[in-house]
């Protein structure tokens, strides 16, 4: 696959935006492979993702920011540039339930996720077998009462040592502190086992069963300082019936959790997500 670059843009909606971006790429010999855009009429915002081939592009990748910046300043753009050859380093955090961890490692080994997984962090030993069988270091750190701050400080040291770009909470049943959440803004992806905003917090399957719902869901979202309130990346649902008990809800829900989390991780590492306010745009 040829080396490509991706430009993600958010700016006030105005005439000439697409023309300015396309002309910049054309003037330097860029061949656009994918382009997608969205206008938020209520907020007056324009959001765009454009991907182009770097083969025959006149600028070296390192030269692009300086050349594009005058255009961005003139049009009031917030923008981010990425190259397809860069594989983000994703640390996976997990507790006792390992179904999402196993799925992520399988997809990673199968080449479905364009990232590296340099380590797994857990407060339980349950996931050690899958991580170490695939040669991924497994760091077990129990979170005892009153020790959360100390444990998180060590976790941050580990993440820095491994140059981690992204945290994936694959059913990590610990609430991250504001310090941890703010250190990785829009770079911590959580899977919540319900269709948010319904049934946030603990034991959502039990809440759903007690409420007698006919659909259950799973939600992947970016983590913020407020529990289960970050921008939503992906959701999916499955139908249930009055015959299903809590165990059946959990079984059906776990299948959803794996798919919804892996989609969110894939879209993030492929630079397909733009966050604005409490929302996301996910470009196809």
Q: What are the residue numbers of the active site?
A: 228
Per-residue DSSP letters for the chain?
---EEEEEEEEE--TTHHHHHHHHHHHTT-EEEEEEEEEETTTTEEEEEEEEE-TT-SS-GGGHHHHHHHHHHHHT-EEEEEETT---BEEEEE-S--HHHHHHHHHHHTT-S-SB---EEESSSTTHHHHHHTT--EEE----TT-HHHHHHHHHHHHHHTT--EEEESS--SPPPHHHHHHSTT-EEEEESS-TTTT-SS-HHHHHHHHT-SEEEEEEEE--SSTT-SPEEEEEEEE--TT--HHHHHHHHHHHHHHHHHHHHHHHHTT-EEEETTEEEE--
């Amino acid at each position: 696959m040829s080396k490509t670059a991706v430009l993600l843009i958010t700016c006030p909606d105005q005439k000439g935006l697409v023309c300015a971006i396309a002309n910049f790429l054309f003037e330097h010999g860029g061949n656009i492979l994918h382009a997608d855009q969205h206008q938020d009429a209520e907020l007056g915002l324009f959001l765009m993702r454009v991907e182009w081939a770097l083969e025959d592009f006149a600028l070296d990748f390192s030269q692009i920011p300086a050349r594009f910046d005058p255009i961005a300043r003139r049009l009031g753009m917030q923008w981010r540039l990425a190259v397809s050859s860069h594989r983000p380093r994703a640390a996976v955090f997990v507790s006792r339930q390992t179904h999402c961890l196993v799925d992520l490692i399988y997809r990673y080994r199968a080449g479905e996720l364009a990232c590296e997984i340099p380590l797994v962090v857990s407060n339980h030993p349950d996931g050690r077998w899958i991580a170490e069988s695939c040669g991924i270091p497994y760091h077990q750190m129990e979170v005892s009462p009153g020790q959360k701050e100390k444990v998180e400080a060590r976790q941050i040291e580990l993440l820095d040592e491994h140059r981690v770009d992204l945290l994936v909470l694959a059913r990590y049943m610990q609430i991250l502190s504001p310090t941890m959440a703010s250190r990785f803004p829009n770079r911590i992806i959580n899977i919540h086992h319900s269709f948010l905003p319904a049934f946030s917090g603990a034991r959502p399957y039990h809440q759903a069963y007690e409420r007698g719902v006919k659909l259950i869901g799973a939600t992947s979202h970016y983590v913020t300082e407020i529990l289960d309130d970050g921008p939503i990346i992906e959701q999916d649902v499955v139908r249930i019936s009055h015959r299903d008990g809590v165990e059946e809800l959990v079984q059906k829900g776990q299948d959803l959790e794996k798919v919804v989390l892996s989609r969110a991780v894939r879209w993030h590492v492929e630079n397909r997500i733009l966050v604005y306010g409490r929302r996301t745009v996910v470009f196809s």
